[in-house]
A = this chain, B = another copy of it.
Amino acid sequence: MTGFFSEDTSVETVNARMGADIDPRMAEVFAAVIKHTHALVKEIGLTQAEWEQVIGFLTATGQICSDERQEFILLSDVMGLSMLVDAINNRRPEAATENTVLGPFHVAGAPERAMGETISLDGKGESCLFEGRVLDLDGQPIEGARIDVWSDNADGFYDVQQPEVQPKWNNRGVFTTGADGAYAFRGIKPVSYPIPDDGPVGKLLAALGRHPYRPAHIHFIVTAPGFDTLVTHTFAGEDDYLTSDAVFGVKQSLVAPYERREDGAETTWRSPFDFSLTRV
């Protein structure tokens, strides 16, 4: 009889219940969610006690969320789902610079700076010259490309995580290319840091035998009229966590050179990287 539940027909029973006039994409997504979640429960033979643990975990994850903390995004991150969604929605030709996740620390409205200026305002860390060009897929320079950049400071924190400690807009800035498509600015060699691991997702990582660290990286959003927006990081190649990023953000093509220079007593760096954008 229609509508009655059985283990064998569970997917069909639930999906047959949808109304005929609902949004077609809603119907498609929900049907797939039911198919895959039921298959998961059947495959692992989820026990009643484990089901209660899952309910408890999801509830705790939701309850710790606030204006300053998004634990479900963190969960998506450590499951590789954020990177997967990013990958699916940003498939590009081989020659184009690859996307990676935006992360939670971008702030719109960072100061526009002149080429060559520094973004590091707290005097901490090892100075690094970031430079390169913004190109189209034929290698031609893009004029008027906007490079929005942000990184952590030498203690591993973004300015918004330490509003009382760091100067506002520390390690942030926006640069616009000229006719040569070139960019150059000073910042610091970024450092690795842990994602917030004092909540349910941190406990999950511990239970999985995983550490919460992200390898050192600097974030970029590169936009130009007529081109697809590029959201990416570049990574420092020798980082201990490069092949074990807690959020799976690393792609091989995004590992940038960091060239060491001894300027007297001081160590400074140069990290050259070209961005290649696809046309809309």
Q: Chain A residues in contact with chain B, CB under 8 A?
A: 1-7, 10, 13-14, 17-23, 26-30, 32-48, 50-51, 55, 58-63, 65, 70, 72-73, 76, 79-89, 91, 207-210, 242-245, 248-252
- C-alpha spacing A7/B82, complex, angstroms: 11
Main secondary structure of the interface of A (DSSP, over half): helix
Copies of this chain, how many?
2
- C-alpha spacing A43/B29, complex, angstroms: 9
Q: Are A62 and B70 in contact (CB under 8 A)?
A: no
Which listed residue (B10, B36, B58, B245) contacts A72, Cβ 8 A? B58
- C-alpha spacing A33/B80, complex, angstroms: 11
Q: Are A245 and B3 in contact (CB under 8 A)?
A: yes
Q: Are B58 and A58 in contact (CB under 8 A)?
A: yes
CB contacts (< 8 Å) of A62 on chain B: these are 58-63, 65, 72
Which listed residue (B10, B38, B82, B207) contacts A23, Cβ 8 A? B207
Q: A37-B79, A72-B55 are in contact. Are A84 and B17 (CB under 8 A)?
A: no
